[in-house]
């Protein structure tokens, strides 16, 4: 009776593997026609396949807008299948909220869709400056298999200010922001449901990553707070339903970063001293703090030295 | 002579970049293969003794951001007219351009201690070689774990960086006493582009645009001369020491690889007496 058992286990394992490949991404409907996939609150590694960012899509009467595509072509493909599990409508737009690899490297899974790729007017420059570096590192971040076929897809429509996209009886508004998380941040606003897709302008539970301008980000928070949203999708972390209260933690961390770095600079301290001391009071409050706080401090220091 | 050796070292190193990706492992701390190529190009056959007690290197074990790695070359002996550190060479073995910077100093610095921020492209040995006023060479080295600094993403805000190009700042110590060494920091706003980034639109490498040399004088006296390249981080920063004996003005002249010249003047008030 042992042989059939071994056979069963073998077939079951193969089916599990096939099953994982065929499975669409897990999504939840957070508002009529708005779907969210929650990424893991981790750094990208082969074991999590780089699935670390929030992605999603919005469905109108005549088409779909995708918001970020994931950290690899594999994830982009899983997202595409998730869309197909919900609607047959054409994918009209693929929106990249900013240049970071966990949000854009699924783009190549959508180039067969006749969709317009949309991003900030500063996204093409950022993609050119950073693309080769991200593609080079992808095999070590998601494993060599998942990295195959990854490519940078430049936007064909760019946003400088505000742009509306028509999805058929549903207009969404895209807005580019002064340099904050990056120099090419874009948000998506759905007035019909008062849903704001803030992407990486908002981090929840996971430490914010400073890769743009700290003063600019703090200033943008005021603009974000003024949007009359009933729910806000962060780039990392759970959906926020209290607004603008949901901004408070991030505002606190970024303010501490700015104030404590300024204090070190004022007493002629060094970047190394700042990296050792700044932000320590925030230590238990953010996931991945140990991975990113010192790096945030060095970026803030290099910026604030010029004040 | 000096610029020739920079070019030669860069050529050897570029060969390394081309063959680099085929290497399956990063350099180990005891891997001297690059150093044995670099050493004769920079120092010829000169003897290099252990620098312990004369200089020390202050580096992180692991860099947080490979494009901004703060390091300090500590001088453990003062600058005396009869014996002083005349030159400090900073080398990062595994960088495409391994001879990162050369600092020219004098007894008037008081201390030869220099801090700066560098790009580190791979796990590597970082070396500081001091040339003393009697011609003797001594070296210390430290192993640093970092990757991608030279080919890492371009700056965080490209438009802002170009708008600020060439702006300079000199951060003065709180109090400057005559005849006492004090620490100053020079900041120069410059992308210091490595030229190792590929522009997908033009299908060309973005041309290197980096600071080649910086000359600091005080009332005409040489304070610090730096020869540098792409391995210095964006917005080059240098902490150095200077013994001012009276109030005066620093003058800075920086030249980049496109032959753009940037200048700055920074008046300094020296307190009278203690």
Ranges of each domain in chain B: 2-268
In angstroms, the CA B197 to CA B191 distance is 13
Identity of the highest mean pLDDT range in A134-148, A195-209, B156-170, B198-212 = A195-209
Cβ count near A190 (within 10 Å) = 23
Which CATH code is given to the segment(s) A26-244?
3.60.15.10
Q: What share of chain A in percent tops pLDDT 90?
A: 90
Residues 6+ apart with CB under 8 A from A143: A46, A49
Nearest to A212 among B154, B156, B164 (CB): B156
Q: Whole-angstrom Cα distance, residue A282 to residue A272?
A: 18
Distance from CA of B82 to the nearest CA of A (A): 31
Question: What confidence score (pLDDT) does residue A94 get?
Answer: 98
Instruction: Tell which residue, A58, A31, A54, A67, has the closest CA to residue A231.
Output: A31
C-alpha distance across the termini of chain A, in Å: 77
Question: CA–CA separation, A16 vs B81, rounded Å?
Answer: 76
Which of B 171-210 lie inside 8 A of A, CB atoms? 171, 173-174, 183, 187, 189, 197-201, 206
B153 touches chain A (CB under 8 A): yes
pLDDT-based confidence at residue B232 (cuts at 50, 70, 90): very high
CB B90 within 8 A of CB B52: no
pLDDT the model gives residue B5: 58
The beta-carbon neighbor of A128 closest among B65, B173, B199 is B199
Distance from CA of A32 to the nearest CA of B (A): 37
Determine whether the interchain pair A128/B200 forms a contact, defined as Cβ–Cβ distance below 8 Å.
yes
d(CA B40, CA A206): 49
Strand pairing class (B137-144; B48-50): parallel
Pairwise CA distance, residues A101 & A106, whole Å: 9
Mutate which of A100, A104, A121, A132 to test chain B, going by most B C-beta atoms within 10 A? A132
- For chain B, what is the mean pLDDT? 88
Chain B neighbors of A302, CB-CB under 8 A: 68, 117, 233-235
Q: What is the mean pLDDT of residues A119-137?
A: 92
Rounded Cα–Cα distance for residues A29 and B209 (Å): 49
Query: Closest Cα partner for A55 from A82, A16, A19?
Result: A82
| A11 contact partners, CB below 8 Å, separation of at least 6 | none
Query: What pLDDT score does A269 carry?
Result: 96
Token duo for residue B19: 């063959």
Q: How many CB atoms lie within 10 A of CB B263?
A: 11
d(CA A237, CA A39): 8
Tell me if B197 and A154 make a contact (CB, 8 A cut-off). Answer: no
Contact A268 B174 (CB under 8 A): yes
For residues B102 and B43, what is the distance between their CA atoms, to the nearest angstrom?
A: 12
In this predicted structure, the answer to whether residue B206 has a pLDDT above a threshold of 80 is: no
Q: How many CB pairs below 8 Å do chains A and B form together?
A: 93
Cβ–Cβ of A268/B173 closer than 8 Å?
yes
- The answer, yes or no, to whether residue A191 has pLDDT greater than 90, is yes
Give the C-alpha separation, B98 to B7, whole Å.
11
Is residue B110 within 8 Å of residue B79, measured between CB atoms? yes
Q: How many CB atoms lie within 10 A of CB A139?
A: 15
Residue of A170, A49, A159, A57 lying closest to A98 (CA atoms): A159
pLDDT tens for A244-291 read: 999 999 999 999 999 999 999 999 999 999 999 999 999 999 999 999
Q: What is the mean pLDDT of residues A49-76?
A: 97
Residues of chain A with C-beta less than 8 angstroms from the C-beta of B158: 122, 125-126, 129, 183
Whether B115 contacts chain A with CB within 8 A: yes
**Which residue, B274, B95, B94, B262, is CA-closest to B190?**
B262
For A133, list phi and psi in degrees, rounded to 5.
Answer: -65, -45
Q: Are strands A91-95 and A64-67 parallel, antiparallel or unpaired?
A: parallel
List all residues of chain B from 214 to 243 with a beta carbon under 8 Å from chain A. Answer: 233-235, 237, 239
Does CATH number 3.40.220.10 belong to domain B2-268?
Answer: no
Q: Look up residue A223 and give its DSSP letter.
A: H
B157 touching chain A per CB within 8 A: yes
| Contact at CB, A183 and B64, closer than 8 angstroms | no
Do the chains contact at B65 and A299, CB–CB below 8 Å? yes
pLDDT digits (tens, 9 = 90+) for B136-184: 999 999 999 988 877 777 688 878 888 899 999 999 998 899 989 999 9
């Amino acid at each position: 009776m042992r042989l059939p058992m071994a056979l069963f286990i073998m077939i079951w394992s193969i089916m599990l593997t096939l099953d994982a490949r065929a499975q669409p991404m897990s999504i939840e409907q957070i508002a009529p026609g708005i779907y969210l996939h929650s990424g893991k609150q981790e750094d990208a590694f082969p074991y999590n396949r780089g699935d670390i960012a929030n992605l999603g899509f919005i469905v109108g009467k005549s088409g779909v807008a995708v918001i970020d595509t994931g950290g690899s072509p594999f994830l982009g493909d899983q997202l595409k299948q998730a869309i197909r599990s919900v609607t047959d409508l054409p994918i009209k737009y693929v929106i990249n909220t900013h240049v970071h690899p966990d949000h854009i490297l699924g783009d190549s899974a959508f180039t067969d869709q006749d969709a317009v790729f949309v991003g900030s007017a500063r996204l093409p420059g950022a993609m050119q400056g950073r693309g080769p570096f991200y593609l080079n590192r992808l095999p070590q971040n998601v494993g060599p298999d998942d990295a195959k076929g990854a490519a940078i897809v430049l936007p064909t429509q760019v946003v400088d200010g505000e742009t509306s996209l028509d999805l058929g009886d549903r207009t969404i508004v895209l807005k580019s922001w002064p340099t904050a998380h990056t120099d090419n941040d874009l948000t998506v606003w759905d007035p019909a449901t008062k849903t704001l897709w803030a992407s990486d302008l908002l981090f929840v539970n996971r430490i914010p990553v400073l890769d743009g301008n700290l003063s600019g980000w703090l200033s943008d928070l005021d603009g974000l707070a003024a949007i009359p949203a009933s729910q806000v999708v962060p780039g990392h972390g759970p959906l926020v339903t209290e607004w603008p209260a949901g901004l408070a933690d991030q505002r606190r961390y970024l303010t501490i970063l700015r104030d404590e770095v300024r204090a070190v600079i004022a007493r002629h301290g060094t970047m190394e001293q700042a990296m050792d001391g700044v932000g320590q009071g925030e230590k238990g409050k953010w996931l991945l703090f140990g991975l990113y706080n010192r790096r945030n401090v060095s970026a803030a220091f290099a910026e604030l030295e010029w004040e | 002579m000096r610029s020739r050796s920079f070019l030669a070292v860069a050529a050897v190193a570029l060969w390394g970049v081309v063959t680099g990706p085929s290497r399956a492992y990063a350099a180990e701390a005891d891997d001297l293969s690059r150093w044995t190529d670099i050493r004769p190009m920079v120092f010829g056959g000169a003897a290099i003794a252990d620098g312990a007690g004369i200089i020390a290197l202050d580096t992180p074990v692991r860099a947080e951001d490979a494009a901004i790695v703060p390091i300090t070359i500590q001088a453990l002996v003062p600058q005396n007219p009869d014996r002083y550190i005349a030159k400090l060479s900073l080398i990062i073995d595994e960088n495409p351009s391994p001879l990162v910077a050369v600092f020219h100093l004098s007894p008037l610095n008081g201390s030869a201690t220099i801090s700066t921020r560098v790009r580190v492209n791979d796990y590597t040995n970082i070396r500081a070689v001091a040339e003393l006023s009697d011609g003797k060479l001594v070296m210390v080295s430290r192993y640093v774990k970092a990757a991608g600094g030279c080919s890492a993403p371009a700056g965080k805000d490209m438009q802002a960086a170009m708008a600020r190009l060439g702006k300079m700042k000199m951060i003065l110590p709180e109090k400057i006493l005559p005849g006492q060494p004090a620490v100053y920091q020079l900041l120069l706003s410059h992308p210091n582009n490595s030229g190792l980034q590929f522009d997908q639109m033009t299908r060309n490498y973005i041309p290197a645009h980096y600071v080649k040399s910086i000359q600091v004088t005080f009332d005409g006296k040489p304070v610090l001369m730096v020869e540098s390249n792409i391995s210095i981080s964006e917005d080059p920063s240098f902490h150095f020491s200077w013994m001012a004996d009276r109030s005066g003005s620093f003058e800075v002249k920086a030249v980049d690889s496109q032959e753009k010249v940037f200048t700055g003047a920074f008046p300094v008030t020296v307190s009278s007496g203690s």
